Structure 1
């Protein structure tokens, strides 16, 4: 497995998951995890990576990259806000762009990533409950791809009985294509996952 610290572009952008999960929009600071687990700030990696490329459009990137200590590298994207169809496409673009950036930096390919990497989207399960939404967001919700918290809970429970994990937002298409594993976790589920490492 790749040792991230052997690449200066990764080793110079260390942070922790708590800091990388920060959503400071709308005038308040919200952390999606309290974990201080070491991680690479992949947004900062992207910024350094593109400096010399002279790009007309800046690529997107995932928030974090870390070694799970079990032989896999893990990309993490934190999404605290409402996930509309547009946001879903933005998540997919971040995933693709991050994959290309990582592969170029490490001189690996998608086959390496398919065997040695996970992708995790951490999302806020309560942000779309009707009682917390203004009228504009209620209208957006009707056309959104994000299932309701009740549907997520139902699908996850059914998945447990079927011995399969439910993956939201259509991200399952990236499993066995770009990554060995793909997961969509609520904040609580992500913290539970981290506690197993």
Structure 2
């Protein structure tokens, strides 16, 4: 039964997709130039993985409408599906973004320790601390945290959240739990 909320649903789709696009643009701008010696260091591997995951996410097709010509109930059902799909994509992109920013902090911290030098035994303790910090940051990127960040930002912006999927739906449809294909 039509409920008069299709305009709100369509606006919500646009909001979520705009967030998704902004996150993807940031991920696409990630650049790091490791030397041959650094190429397989943990943070650089993670950055490449995040970019690869973002490319895979972008390549997935969006659902196409089926027979929604003017029927408000069909449009409502379709918009609800799109809200869920868009929310899952944004959730995945936010996970990738948080992991990429942790890796970029690792790159910057490592560069600060090395100060243009090649790594040597004198750097071992400081580089281990940088690795530990990265691992700690990565372990703090949980599905609950991601969902809370997104929901809080949306609520603070006064967005309509009535039909946004909950954490369990996001987890089920996003797959990979708290991890990623590259962790």
TM-score normalised by length of structure 2:
0.31
TM-score normalised by length of structure 1:
0.29
More strand by share: 1
